[in-house]
Structure 1
Amino acid sequence: MYEKVPTKKIFDIRISDPFPGPTEDWLTIQNDRRNTLASICQKNNLIKLKSKLDSHVASQIFVEHKHKFTYCEVPKVGCSNWKRTIFILQEGLNVEASEIEHDHIHQTSLIKRLSAYPPAVREEFLNNYTKVMFTRHPLERLVSAYRDKLLHFEPYYSTTVANQIKAMFRKNKNSSEKVSFQEFVSFVTAKPPNTLDIHWKPMFLLCDPCNIHYDILGKYETLGLDSVQVLKAIGAPESLQYPSLKRYGSEKRTDSDITLEYLRQLSSEQIEKIKKLYQMDFLLFNYTLKDENNFP
């Protein structure tokens, strides 16, 4: 059904930033990230003259008042541990990150979304609080979402979403075989980007960085140092560290090698479609995907 890409290693997934060193280097890289983003926003007419905060974007942003901290949640970019961190900041370090279960942190009403506040108050927080957003290589994030949501038992994704995919792409829609990565990609690329599930929706649509001027643009690829600098910037207690908890502890984290394994399963047409879907994420956040045909 799918014309497979040759199995030799033709893809090169990378970020364009060097790994930062001292704080001065980190600040320089932050400045570069903001400048790149601002330039691409302008070139692609993504800046709204009268910017009204989209309700979907407001629902992605979490607010922590003690440290005047707002964080835009991008799923598959360490968001569970950032939400644990927000919870701990609110509770005054009276709880350990390891005590906060994955499902609980995503269901609790104790950490507030920006959408819970009236529009005028939302603007006040965005103007006066430290605003943070983290990104990840778009295709590594896509593979991570597939592995997490379609290969494990999750009542909604492994049943409802999986059944939708099977109905679209299989003659026998009652097949018990797990959804393949090829089927998943065909499903994702068949829908308008704005309607996609937040776990694979383009990052720029989740957080609107062209109209919300984030003070810190972190990356999953530099999470260690970026998280330290975020906590320092908001005045968090020195004893608090960003946790490195993982939901499926026995599994290897999705990295560039695992991502390449999955990309090799796709047809050249599918590769083009996911490149198009995540084009703005690649440009705005300075990620690349290159192969022997010199993908931009």
Structure 2
Amino acid sequence: MTKSQLFRLSVALGSVFMILLIIVYWDSVGTAHLYLHTSLTKPFSPPVLPISAQNEEKPALSDIDEFLDMFFNLTLTQNGQVNTKTDQPLLQTSSKPISGSLEESMRGYDWSSRDTKGKPDQEKVQAERKRTLRQFCANSSFTFPWKERSFDDIPNRELDHLIVDDRHGIIYCYVPKVACTNWKRVMIVLSESLSDQGIPYHDPLNIPRKQVHNKSTHLTFNKFWQRYGKFSRHLMKIKLKKYTKFLFVRDPFVRLISAFRSKFELENEEFYRSFAVPMLKLYSNHTNVPSSVGEAFSVGMKPSFGDFIQYLLDPLTEKERPFNEHWRQAYRLCHPCQIEYDFVGKLETLDEDAVQLLTLLGVDTLVRFPPSYRNKTASSWEEDWFARIPLYWRQQLYKLYEADFVLFGYPKPENLLQD
């Protein structure tokens, strides 16, 4: 054997050895969660996006990103063969939802059919929503906190709303009070991250609400550091480049009303102790506040909507800790100026958006989006809810949530902000 042959052989053996080391590393930190080379799952194949979306430029990756990108694709095959497991066909959904909580039982579901005729062209709607996002993210004259930071500057703890489904190549950023319970259920069905007696759920409405909101149920970006160490950010970037990313938003003021209704007008021990008690003491001047929500409700002691608005506007609130996710601004939860979303849904057009999104994701034959709630908080309620809120408070509240109004194309509520 010549020296050149020996050299080539040593290089080849060295390369094989390095690949084996990498594979051992992946296996030790939980490769099953990446679904890169398990024989039990379907390999991810990116869905075909509309032509307009295909032509959009994607951010460039660094050399290490390119290497991990290559490795990501390489490990989708075993011995040159791609896994060919197929997903289960769509099962018939249950005739009625489970009674998972007082909130769901009280609100109920709307099972009536939806007439989608005469609706605007959905691709044009999506193009406009994404154009609005890009326009204001690039507009230097429109500023808001943390707008200019890069994706790498976002702390891991602020990436806990980005749920990843590696089986279908999907990333969902959930915004509480925007149908997130049912979208989480859909993600559980698709990722098969939860099962009942060893059988993965196929009907979203069969998944108990408590398990839906259990943080251990979902693989989120903020868990990557624990599993993938120093490679975590590189993997996030690769997934952001390859996967289809979506979020759903809602009129910011209506979302606040909905949050207040569900967390402070219903008996919720956690929210009572953490938020209602301080509100009652600080803004309603109550000195003897009951220690439990049951006792408080029995004597009619609840924070008012005005107390809630004062709490949001109080500078001391965020000095103590960030806003709770139920009233934290959507841009702070989903970072739309750092992450380029492929689909921006709205609660106001939930039915048609859900149909369009599941088709875009290529999973419309696997799962249906559950029926929407019957008595959602309506936009028409805004004037009634804000009638007793002083004008100056309303104006300050708008400033606090202005970025959500502008970025997601919601009109400024002039009727609430003027005498």
1:97 is the counterpart of 2:199: no
**1:16-31 alignment, distance < 5 Å:** 25-31=121-127
Amino acid at match of 2:306: Q
Residue pairs, 1:119-268, within 5 angstroms: 119-175=233-289, 176=296, 177-190=301-314, 191-192=317-318, 195-244=322-371, 246=373, 252-268=375-391
Q: Give yes or no for contact 1:150–1:157 (8 Å, CA) kept in 2.
A: yes
Task: Considering Cα pairs closer than 8 Å and 6+ residues apart, tell me whether 1 or 2 has the greater RCO.
Answer: 1
Q: Which residue of 2 aligns with 1:7?
A: none
**Cα deviation code 1:12-71 (max 9, x no counterpart):** xxxxxxx99689821111111111111111223534467444323311100011110000
List gaps (5 residues or longer) in structure 2: 1-114, 193-198, 225-231, 290-295
Counterpart residue type for residue 197 of structure 1: N
State the Cα deviation string for residues 96-148 of structure 1 (Å, max 9, x = none).
22211212100152321121112222112111110001110000000000001
Q: Secondary structure of 2:217's partner? A: coil
Q: Number of residues paired by the alignment? A: 273
Kept in 1, the 8 Å contact 2:156–2:221? The answer is no
Report the TM-score, using the length of structure 2 for normalisation. Answer: 0.60
**CA 1:66–1:184 in structure 2 vs 1: closer, same or farther (change >3 Å)?**
same
Does the CA contact (< 8 Å) of 2:151 and 2:339 recur in 1? no
Structure 1: how far apart are the matches of 2:237 and 2:285? 50
Aligned twin of 1:5: none
C-alpha distance in structure 1 between counterparts of 2:277 and 2:156, whole Å: 29
Match of 1:281 among 357, 382, 404: 404
1:149–1:289 Cα change, 3 Å: same
Instruction: State the alpha-carbon separation in 1 of the partners of residues 158 and 402 from structure 2.
Output: 19
- After superposition, the Cα gap between the structure-2 partners of 1:292 and 1:94, relative to the gap in structure 1 and judged at 3 Å, is closer
3-state SS of paired residue (2:213)? helix
Q: Percent of aligned positions with the same letter in both sequences?
A: 27
1:174 Cα deviation (Å)? Answer: 2.6
User: What is the alpha-carbon distance in structure 2 between the residues aligned to residue 47 and residue 264 of structure 1?
Assistant: 36
Alpha-carbon deviation of 1:225?
Answer: 1.3
- Which one has a bigger Cα radius of gyration? 2
Which amino acid is 1:82 matched to? W
Distance in 2 between residues matched to 1:208 and 1:244, nearest whole Å: 28
Q: Greater shift after overlay, 179-188 or 118-127?
A: 118-127
Cα gap change, 1:227 to 1:154, in 2 (>3 Å)? same
Matches of 1:285 and 1:79 in 2, distance apart? 17
Across the aligned residues of Structure 1 and Structure 2, the Cα RMSD in angstroms comes to 2.6
